[in-house]
Chains A and B, each alone.
Chain A
Amino acid sequence: MDETFVSAHKKTDASGLVVRWIGYLFIGFFALCCLLPFLLVLGTSFTSESAIKLSGFNFWPKEFSTFAYKIVFENPDLIIGSYIVTIVMTIVGTTVGLLLVAMTGYALQRPDFMYRNKISFFIYFTTLFSGGLVPFYLLITQYLHLKDNYLAVLLPGLLSPFLIIMMKSFVRSIPHAITESAKIDGAGDFTIFLRLILPMTTPALATIGLFIALGYWNEWYNSMLFLSPDMKYRTLQLFLYNVITSADFVRNSAAASNVQLRDVPLESMKMATAVVATGPVILFYPFVQRYFIKGITVGAVKG
């Protein structure tokens, strides 16, 4: 906000004050509503099971206990395995996906690329018409034979028309003259992309990379479809999903520790697992949210 704008506001009348107070109350209330449920999960994860049974979930533990975390980490094999699967998938998927999105986005933005409209439409059309879930499922399981294969989760998340369009909007801000002058100097198209365009689009790459990474970190849908319980280590969110929806799953995974089955703190373990599975994102996001903001603003301009 520049100086003149602020000074024009100096002589605020009553209406300005009213609006501002409505704003503080409304936004403050809504922002609290966005935060509190997370504190509820956090609070409950530190509450003893008996206190939950007695007085329900609460923001502040009625009876503080780290028992749920103890069980989660007592038999850390499963959760660490899921963590590793998700981390490796996020790193590999983001690196490869980012390179492909950037490469495609740049090529499709080159005004002298004669096939750009055709290929753009080829990609865009997939958002208009799709075969739906059943044929996709049959393709992955029966034709590509990727059931119980991490590739079934990794591959479909690499690219999306939305991200390619976002990359195109970002590259559009780089003058074509840069490409042209490099061509005159004898550089090839791929060299131009790698040496000139990529370094100039680092903010865009950060934004798109974070979108892809968030997608992999929160991936549960393809994991649920294609990774069966026969696999010991599946993705983190699927692990969380199993803990939330299946008491048997929790009992089985707690069986290795020396806890009586009836003493397994089912409710607080759901919350503790959620905290462990979500924690990194929540700690990270205040630092990276500006990149997402940029992406949303650019992406909304077109498509």
Chain B
Amino acid sequence: MSTASPAQLTEKRYTTPKRGRWKRFKNNKTLLLMCFPAVAFFLIFSYMPMPGLYLAFIKYNYSDGIFGSAFAGLENFRFLVMTGDLWRLTFNTIAYNIAFILLGNMLQITVAVLLNEMRSKWFKKVSQTMMFLPYFVSAVLIGLIAYNILSYDYGILNSVLHSLGLDPVKAYSSPGAWPFIIVITYLWQSTGYGSIVYFAAIMGLDSEIVEASEIDGANAFQRIRYIVLPWLKPTFIILLLFSLGGILKGNFGLFFNLVGANNTALYASTDIIETYVFRSLMTNFNFSMGSAVSLYQSLFGFIVVLTANWLVKKVSPDNSLF
């Protein structure tokens, strides 16, 4: 047959993909089954709570349940804006994250570059192991360590100040000190493992380039300034953009364990979105307000991720997420 009738053509167009789809499904059956537990997991623990964000639009009342409670529209959001809570939470969350990201990366790069300059293998190994230690312990222990240092009565900070003839500090009731305490603790905990990415990147630097620069008479400072740092720039930019996506997500464990559950005196400078939501659930039982903040966080965060990804795509298309 040289020509097929239109009917045959349409039939063919309809049947082949159908049969193909079934065949492909059969071919992929086992792989699909292998993914099933994970799909079910995320469906239950991540997707099922999402409709619960409806809580943000009602005045939740425990006895009436979610669907019996009065609809409030945007009232909860209006309240959050009016009281200034939303602004304070947003500001704190973003400001802390910017400090974490910028100072964190700077310190990580410094550590990685200096580690690379060391000759003593023993020193490298031991110091890296020591710097990695804080990464392995729970946030609860981090809180205890901070207490060891900052406690008014027994803390080692006040012991040192005392022996220097200075006045003791009441860290747990001075909000102004906490941005420093939290940022320093974050750097203390994360630099060891964060520097690993940069250290690995430096390892990928072609040693011939380094040798050539030395033959050309570059000293160590010039080598770092003109070869190593530019080499790390793409890694830095990618990590920066990735972390930008999480700029509205807070490190709950760190803040909660450092500040304590009920230290109201410090809220002005330490309250972030996560701690507020946690309190609205466990302390104030204001489920609707907590959900309103969560919804705001998710939506705003989503926009930020899309923007960051758009930037990644421009800088390095290979690394973009989608």
What is A's interface to B at a CB cutoff of 8 Å?
Answer: 2, 4-5, 8-9, 13-16, 18-20, 22-24, 26-28, 30-35, 37-38, 40-41, 44, 52-53, 55-59, 100-101, 103-104, 106-108, 110, 112-115, 119, 121-124, 126, 128-139, 143-144, 155-156, 158-159, 161, 164, 188-190, 193, 214, 217-221, 225, 237, 240-241, 244-245, 267, 270-271, 274, 277-278, 281-282, 285-286, 289, 292-293, 296-297, 300, 302-303
B35 lies within 8 A of A104 (CB): yes
Task: Please tell me if the beta carbons of A132 and B140 are within 8 angstroms of each other in the complex.
Answer: no
CB atoms of A139 and B129 under 8 A apart: no
Contacting pair A132 B321 (CB below 8 A): no
**A138-B138 contact given A16-B219, A100-B41, A122-B39, CB 8 Å threshold:** no
How many residue-residue contacts, CB under 8 A, span A and B?
300
Query: How distant is A62 from chain B, measured CB to nearest CB, in Å?
Result: 11
Given A34-B192, A40-B148, A57-B154, A15-B46 contact (CB < 8 Å): no
Cβ of B136 and Cβ of A121 under 8 Å apart? no
Give Cα A156–Cα B131 distance, bound, in whole angstroms: 30
Q: Which residues of A contact B114 (CB under 8 A)?
A: 19, 22-23, 26-27
Residues in chain A near residue B260, CB distance under 8 A? 245
* Distance to closest chain A CB from B74 (angstroms): 17
CA distance A241 to B153 in the complex (A): 20
Q: Is the interface of A mostly helix, strand, loop or mixed?
A: helix
Convert B159-200 into 0s and 1s, putting 1 for each residue whose CB lies closer than 8 angstroms to a CB of A. Answer: 100000000000000000000000000001001110011001
Name the contact of A159 in the complex, choosing from B38, B126, B135, B252 (C-beta under 8 A): B38
Cβ contact within 8 Å between B155 and A56: yes
Closest CB-CB distance, A224 to chain B, in whole Å?
9
Contact assessment for B132 and A193 in the assembled complex, using a CB-CB cutoff below 8 Å: no
Partner of A27, one of B111, B154, B224: B111
Contact B138 A218 (CB under 8 A): yes
Contact B220 A19 (CB under 8 A): yes
B295 within 8 A of A: yes
Complex: how many Å from CA A31 to CA B41?
40
Q: Complex formed: what's the CA distance from A16 to B51 in Å?
A: 60
Which of A121, A137, A292 interacts with B193 by CB under 8 Å?
A: A292
**A-contact bits for B46-62, CB 8 A (1 contact / 0 none):** 11111111010000000
> What's the Cα separation between A225 and B53 when bound, in Å?
19
Nearest chain A CB to B234's CB is how many angstroms away? 12
Docked pose: A84 CA to B151 CA in angstroms? 32
Q: Could you list 19 A-B pairs, sorted by A, with CB under 8 Å?
A: A16-B220, A23-B118, A26-B111, A31-B126, A40-B145, A41-B141, A56-B151, A57-B155, A58-B156, A131-B46, A131-B48, A133-B281, A135-B52, A136-B49, A139-B45, A155-B41, A164-B38, A190-B33, A282-B133
CB atoms of B37 and A103 under 8 A apart: yes
Residues of chain A with a CB closer than 8 A to B210's CB: 5, 8
| Cα-based distance from A101 to B38 in the complex (angstroms) | 8
Give the distance in Å from the alpha carbon of A131 to the alpha carbon of B38 in the complex.
18
Contact of B322 among A4, A23, A121, A241 (CB under 8 A): A121
Query: CB distance B127 to A28 under 8 Å?
Result: yes
- Most central of A5, A27, A58, A124 by chain B CB within 10 Å: A27
Residue of B nearest to A110 (CB): B31
In the bound complex, CA of A65 to CA of B301 (Å):
51
Please, how many angstroms separate the alpha-carbon atoms of A112 and B257 in the complex? Answer: 47
A27 touches B52 (CB 8 A): no
CB distance from A122 to the nearest CB of B (A): 7
Interface residues of chain B: helix, strand, loop or mixed (majority)? helix
In Å, the complex CA distance between A147 and B125 comes to: 45
Contact B53 A34 (CB under 8 A): no
CB pair B131–A31 under 8 Å, yes or no, is yes
Given contact pairs A19-B220, A115-B28, A55 touches B159 in the complex (Cβ within 8 A): yes
* Minimum C-beta distance from B6 to chain A (A): 30
Q: Is the CB of B196 within 8 A of A20?
A: no
- In this complex, what residue of A is CB-closest to B222? A15
> What separation, in Å, do the CA atoms of A124 and B47 have in the docked complex?
12
Q: Given contacts A31-B131, A131-B298, list 15 more A-B pairs with CB under 8 A.
A: A19-B220, A31-B130, A32-B130, A35-B130, A37-B148, A40-B156, A56-B154, A100-B41, A103-B35, A122-B42, A132-B277, A134-B55, A135-B50, A214-B136, A292-B193
Q: Does B272 belong to the interface (CB within 8 Å)?
A: no
Binary CB contact string for chain B from 190 to 224 against chain A (1 if under 8 A, 0 otherwise): 01110011001000000100110010000111101
Q: How far is the CA of A267 from the CA of B32 in the complex (A)?
A: 54
Instruction: Assess whether B34 is in contact with A282, with CB atoms less than 8 Å apart.
Output: no
B144 interfacial contact with A, CB 8 Å: yes
Contact B118 A24 (CB under 8 A): yes
In the complex, A164→B145 CA distance in Å? Answer: 33
- Residues of chain B with a CB closer than 8 A to A59's CB: 156
Query: A289, B154: Cβ atoms under 8 Å?
Result: no
Cβ contact of B49, chosen from A110, A139, A281, cutoff 8 A? A139
Chain A residues with CB under 8 A of B47:
126
Report the separation of the CA atoms of residues A114 and B38 in the bound assembly, to the nearest whole angstrom.
17
Determine if B117 and A23 form an interchain contact, defined as CB atoms under 8 angstroms apart. Answer: yes
| B220→A13 contact, CB < 8 A | yes
Residues on B with beta carbons closer than 8 Å to the beta carbon of A159? 38, 41-42
Q: How far is the CA of A286 from the CA of B147 in the complex (A)?
A: 26
Q: State whether the Cβ of B229 lies closer than 8 Å to any Cβ in chain A.
A: no
Q: Which of A132, A161, A278 contacts B298 (CB 8 A)?
A: A132
- Chain A residues, Cβ within 8 Å of B231: none
CB of B180, distance to nearest CB on chain A (Å): 15
A164 to B291, CA, bound (A): 28
